[in-house]
Amino acid sequence: MDFTLPAELAALREMVRDLAREVVAPRAAELDETGVYPEDIFAAFRDRGLPGLAWPEELGGAGLRDAAGRPVGTLALCLAVEEVARFCSASGLILLLTRLPLMPVWLAGTPEQKERYIGGACRGERRGAFCLTEPEAGSDAAGIRATARRDGDHYVLNGTKIFISGATVADFFTIAAKTDPAAGHRGVSVFVVDRVTPGLSVGKVERKMGVKGVPVAEVVLQDCRVPAAQRLGAENAGFRVVMQTLNAVRPVVAARGLGLAEGALAYAVEYARERRAFGHPIADFQGLRWLMADMATDLEAARWLTYRAATLVDAGRYGREDAHFLSMAKLYATEMANRVASGALQLLGGHGYMKDHPLERFYRDARQLTLVEGTSQIQREIIGRAVAEGFLT
């Protein structure tokens, strides 16, 4: 067992760290204030090839491998997300969205679909959004009501998707809909739909608590005619694609939690070294040292769960039999991010509550992480199922 990063990944982390400091950090507070998607930050990511980090070379991606020739793209993406999220959670999400909406294409798409959508994303020409959640179905993904009715060589899609991250800037949408509404999860199919398709529109943009630089919006499908060639994989075989997509992206969400916690803790520790009370820097007080110790330990535990989970995904292990390891990383790292964001704010006392410091933003941004891509309760359901089925024994 070797806990050192391969040299290419260590170099990548340095490169993204510099980029995050120079390009992302100065814009983070402003994105939070304005809620405007940062095209300049996306362009900086594109110029460094970051949208292709997790994808193979033949599709235009980085095709990263370790010394033994094993793919390490998911781990690379996690490291990049972690570095960026130290300063700005929304910018970390922009990188995550180079993976989430494309995973169904990777899992079930034809070579042409992969070249068009994944290739386009690697070149920074196309951005996607992943459309699963509906007003009546979030955690219960099999309960979606959007329909896709076959009509000759087309499907006609109807329904409303909500809370779709990146919808306002997306060029394409991967959409789960029922091709057999009576068949529960066995009636789900997945489609990739271009934004320009008549009948697809981006609706209400939500006013939300944090992660404001990536708007979240409704995607409305009204008699949206989609060529059958835009279906991803077999008809009615989409539920597995959706579940595997979520499993495979869980380490990347976890990495958003790692980065956020690192940024919050680093800021608070620096403050605690400078701030004085009762004649001492507050970092000298045992009450705060133990708080810092707990936060640092929590972070380190989450980091290794996350890297290990990313390594599993890189080895193609994101099916049901390994899902609990991916859920553990997502559950632990996102809950940890909330604990650390709260503890770090506490270190600043009343100053932490004010917008002169970034910790109230970190605190609000952290709150998103335990809700998206499977709430903490759903992660516990997945882990609990595996425990009950005997994975520990």
Ligand X SMILES: Cc1cc2nc3c(=O)[nH]c(=O)nc-3n(C[C@H](O)[C@H](O)[C@H](O)COP(=O)(O)OP(=O)(O)OC[C@H]3O[C@@H](n4cnc5c(N)ncnc54)[C@H](O)[C@@H]3O)c2cc1C
Q: Give me the residues that bind ligand X (CB under 6 A), please.
A: 129-133, 138-139, 163-165, 208, 216, 368, 371-373, 375, 377-378, 381
In the complex, minimum distance from the CB of residue 216 to ligand X, in angstroms, rounded to a whole number: 5
Q: Which two tokens stand for residue 385?
A: 């199922």
Phi/psi for 137 (5° steps) reads: -150, 110
| Cα separation, 219 vs 152, whole angstroms | 25
Q: Which two tokens stand for residue 96?
A: 């995550």
- The answer to whether residues 217 and 206 touch, using CB atoms and an 8 Å cutoff, is yes
**CB atoms near residue 75 (< 10 Å):** 29
- Which of 214/291 has CB closer to ligand X? 214
Closest residue to ligand X, based on beta-carbon distance: 138
Where are the extended beta strands (E) located within the chain? 128-131, 147-151, 154-165, 172-178, 188-194, 200-205, 216-227, 231-232, 276-277, 280-281
In the complex, minimum distance from the CB of residue 46 to ligand X, in angstroms, rounded to a whole number: 20
In the complex, minimum distance from the CB of residue 132 to ligand X, in angstroms, rounded to a whole number: 3
In the complex, minimum distance from the CB of residue 321 to ligand X, in angstroms, rounded to a whole number: 21
In the complex, minimum distance from the CB of residue 238 to ligand X, in angstroms, rounded to a whole number: 13
- Residue with structure tokens 């398709």? 197
- The answer to whether residues 124 and 113 touch, using CB atoms and an 8 Å cutoff, is no
CA–chain centroid gap for 56, Å, is: 19
- Which of 60/128 has CB closer to ligand X? 128
Torsion over CA: 184, 102, 203, 250 (sign): positive
Of 367, 77, 337, nearest in space to 212 by CA: 367
Burial class (CB in 10 A: 0-12, 13-18, 19+), 281: middle
In the complex, minimum distance from the CB of residue 373 to ligand X, in angstroms, rounded to a whole number: 6
Q: Which two tokens stand for residue 124?
A: 């920074």
- Which of 96/291 has CB closer to ligand X? 96
- Which of 342/375 has CB closer to ligand X? 375
| DSSP SS3 for 79 | helix
- Which of 116/385 has CB closer to ligand X? 385
- Which of 10/371 has CB closer to ligand X? 371
Q: Which two tokens stand for residue 292?
A: 């810092």
| Cα separation, 344 vs 338, whole angstroms | 10
Which positions are annotated as active-site residues? Answer: 373
